[in-house]
Structures are given as C-alpha cells and as structure tokens.
Amino acid sequence: MLVLGVESSCDETGVAVVDASGRDIPRLLAQALHSQIDLHQAYGGVVPELASRDHVRRALPLLEQTLEQAGLSVNQLDSVAYTRGPGLAGALLVGAGLACALAAALGRPALGIHHLEGHLLSPFLGDDPPQFPFLALLVSGGHTQLMQVRTVAQYELLGETIDDAAGEAFDKSAKLLGLPYPGGPHLARLALEGDERAFKLPRPLLHSGDSDFSFAGLKTAVLTQAQRLGDQLPMRRADLAASTQAAIVDVLVAKSLAALDQTGLRRLVVAGGVGANSRLREQLERACAPRGVRVHYPQLSLCTDNGAMIALAAGMRIQAGLAPSSTAYAFDVRPRWGLTELSH
C-alpha cells in the first residue's frame, strides 16, 4: 500500500511517499520539501497570496522528485492524501486540488488529512516510536494543545491556548527584539548566549489548575521590558531572549507534567515546530525521567510542516480501517478545524 502525501497548509510545500503495507508502522520511502522562508522574510511574516502562488510553482517538481527518489512511477501509488486543514485557505486549495486531480487520473482514493493529526503522529516515523495510549503536547504555529491519545482518531482535548500559542509567543517576542523572520529559531539561538534569570517575566496560567495555556500576557511583558531597556536593548537582547524562552518552556513543562498526573499516562509525545526547541527537550527529559515517563519526539527534520507526516497519518488511517475506499473527488478545505472533530 503506497500512499502519497501532499502538505501545503502554510509556507512549506511537502511531498512524500510511505509504504503502509501490513500492520507495521508505515515506512517512509522518500520525501521532498521546499520552505518559503526566503520569500516571506522581507515582509516579516507569511503573505497568504504569495504562499499560494509558490505552492503552485513547487508542487509538481517536488512530486516528480519524490517519486524519482523512491524509484516509483505515479501509477504504482495506491492512495493520495493531502492536508485538508487547518491552514491558509488558498494554500490548502493548491495541495487539495493537486492531490484530488492526481487521484482522479489514477482512479485511486483521495484522503483529506488533518494537519495537526499529522504532527501528532509524526514521532511514529522516528527511531523510538511511541505506543498508544499517550499524552500529546502539540506546539505547532498558532496551536498549543494537550491531547489524550488512545489510538488513531481517538483524541480527547485536555487543554489549549486561550489566546497566543507558544509558537506565536516565540515569534512575536523575537520581532520585539528586532530578530529576523522566522523569529522563534532566532530567539532560541540567541537565548543560548543569555542569562535566563536576568528578567522576571510572568508564567501565565502556571497555577490555574487546568490544562489551558495563555501567552499573550508574556508577549506584553516582553514589550514592556524592551521599552524600559531603551538604548540598552541591543546589549541585553540575549538575556531577554533567554528569560522569554525560559518562561515559555516552564509553562509547557509544568502543564505537561500536570496532565500526565491527571491521566496517569507514562508516555508523552511532543510534536510541532516548537518541539524542536532544545531547551524544551532538555527540561522535559529532566522532569519526566524521575517519573518513569518516556518522551517521544519527531526527527528534527519532521518538526516543521512536511509531506511525510500527512502520508503517515493517511497510512495509519488506512491500516485502522478509517479511510474511505470510494473514489469521490469533490473536495473542500477547512481553514479552521478542531482535531477532536476527528474522534469517533
């Protein structure tokens, strides 16, 4: 069972093929990815129209590159999957249109996949795949959520952000510090040079007693501190970056530990772009090891948006008997789509 996956939800165009034969975890055969960072850097953020046009330019060459790398012809594909949502509407339509047109031409099923389900399942492509059930900390772009995962498509939302997500807190704080787009990775690198105890920043909802998150107040505190520093900001940027990162990570770790205690689970999956943050990984490992909790991450190359996670999610759904076998090619996209809507 060869499954092609197409990802185009925001500013990465990704194509991949997995082998989902049998009951083993689908195996990644090949993937190709193009990032639009250079395209959007001049604007300080993603421009939706430019993103959509770039997906149009990149998708077919990436498809050809992936198939060549896998040593496959297009006729050997058994199913075609694409990101249906959430994401930018125009960008999603590019991937959906390509995937459904290809599936129709081949007479194969087309599967619309939830972007966050792809992230959530992506650690299964790693060297240390998790086992169900587990707790998932999803920290991807505008999403910060804690999910109890029983198996494929059985997800219970425990808590989520009520305003800015962790990724947004990284990016917006980086912009306040004058760091280039995309800000989160730049802030994390700069934080390595600073003292995280230099500034006392808030840890929003740290002791709220629930699993919800809030990072808007932290962003405001960073702005206030940057304004207070004035001309001294360039000399103190590393310290402020380190203090900001520490505040975000402290909240993510504390909420994850509380959710593990609440559910009694002993496996934690961390997925999404912020999951690549070395400080977060270090603190989670340090906190979880004494509790006997195993922490699982995607490969660093799979923390960003990619086609492999979409192909994987489709393959695991097919194996679980949850994918449609019909060949109906009318499609829509869902720019706003809750992950729990997938549960059955």
Alpha carbons 156 and 30: distance in angstroms, whole number: 32
Q: In this predicted model, what pLDDT tens digit does every residue of 159-210 receive, in sequence order?
A: 999 999 999 999 999 999 999 999 999 999 999 999 999 999 999 999 999 9
Q: Are residues 141 and 240 in the same domain?
A: yes
Give yes or no for residue 325 having a pLDDT over 80. no
Q: Are residues 166 and 112 in the same domain?
A: no
**Around 229, how many Cα atoms within 13 Å sit in the side-chain half-sphere?**
19
Percent of the chain with pLDDT over 70: 99
Q: What CATH number is attached to the domain comprising 318? A: 3.30.420.40
Give yes or no for residue 344 having a pLDDT over 60. no
Determine, yes or no, domain membership for 9.
Answer: yes
Q: Are residues 140 and 283 in the same domain?
A: yes
Number of folded domains in the chain?
2
Q: Are residues 191 and 144 in the same domain?
A: yes
Determine, yes or no, domain membership for 126.
Answer: no
Q: State residue 310's pLDDT score.
A: 98
Give yes or no for residue 83 having a pLDDT over 80. yes
Q: Are residues 19 and 108 in the same domain?
A: yes
- Of 137-141, 146-150, 237-241, the poorest mean pLDDT is in 137-141
Q: Are residues 39 and 100 in the same domain?
A: yes
Q: State residue 141's pLDDT score.
A: 83
Q: Are residues 155 and 287 in the same domain?
A: yes
pTM (whole model) above 0.75: yes
Q: Which residues of 280-319 are buried (b: 16+ CB within 10 A; e: fewer)?
A: bbebbeebbeeeebbbbbbeeebbbbbbbbbbbbbbbbbb
- Cα–Cα–Cα angle for 342, 29, 2, rounded to 5 degrees: 55
Percent of the chain with pLDDT over 90: 93
Q: Are residues 147 and 275 in the same domain?
A: yes
165: Cα separation from own chain's centroid: 12
Domain residues for the domain of 212 are 132-297
Q: Are residues 288 and 172 in the same domain?
A: yes
Q: Are residues 142 and 270 in the same domain?
A: yes
